[in-house]
Amino acid sequence: MTEPRETFVSTPQGRTRVWRKGAGERVGVFAGIGGQPKWSPFLEALSQTRQVVAVSLPGFPGGPRSEGLDTHLDWIVAARDAMIAADLRGVHLVGASVGGALAAEMAALWPDDVKSLTLIAPFGLFVEAEPVADVFAQPPGGMSAILSRKPKEFDAFLAAPKGVDKAEWEIDALRARVAAAGIVWPLGDTGVSKRMARISAPTLFVWGDGDKVVPPAYSRRFGKAIAGKAKYKTVKNAGHVAEFDQPAAVAAAILAFLEA
């Protein structure tokens, strides 16, 4: 697996990393909890037939600091700034988990700029009868166990990349967790339910069958609320980070959706 082309763009929040690889129609990607510390098998699979553009959001690896983002509106504007700087208007947009919460906002508030939308177990809704799990209240070392069916492998993915100081990386990883919590605070209800009807793009909802964080039943709740045509894919043997647990299956589902 070869490395992507790395560039940096300027946003009002600061210097922002953009990874690009592949050819064909562009697919923008907003990563989930932990961000994108390394080029992943999921992104690699997508890049076989599409040009993948993975932009780092504030607080996550490769992104600017997020301390000044105090409200959900601040996060929406920051995501929009990153999207514009990475030249992602009018493309297919993929968002996972907390990145999915922001991708949904892009499609709701700027519908003409999202050609299609794929949401992989997005945050954004909260139903008392089926509450989302508080990922950030897990005991030390417990976060990966609730996120992934492969917790040891997921821990390794989130570990310091080659050549990066481990002590400094621990600080970066903490900032990423704080950023993820800030996007979906409190308890995952971002208020997006008030805007879901504005989403007109065809949308694919992807969920791991073993998601312990956002119940798979939320897939239909999201789908029924949007104006665009909704499609659904349940991925077997996958947890909340389905794109990590089953990268080939998730990429195949997205590519089939884009072909259709």
Summarize pLDDT for 202-232 with one digit per residue, the tens: 999 999 999 999 999 999 999 999 999 999 9
Work out how many domains the chain is built from and give that number. Answer: 1
141 pLDDT more than 80: no
Q: Which residues contact 223 (CB under 8 A, 6 or more apart)?
A: 203, 205, 230, 232
- Say what the pLDDT of residue 215 is: 95
Q: What is the mean pLDDT of residues 65-89?
A: 97
Confidence at residue 1, expressed as pLDDT on a 0 to 100 scale: 79
What contacts 102, CB < 8 A, 6 or more positions away? 30, 57, 75, 76, 79, 95, 183
Q: What residues have CB less than 8 Å from 41, skipping those under 6 apart?
A: 1, 247, 248
pLDDT in tens, 8-44: 999 999 999 999 999 999 999 999 999 999 999 999 9
**Residue in 107, 105, 118 with CA at minimum distance from that of residue 190:** 105
| pLDDT value for 185 | 86
> What confidence tier does 186 reach under pLDDT thresholds 50, 70, 90?
confident
Provide the residue range defining the domain that includes 149: 5-259
CATH number for 223 = 3.40.50.1820
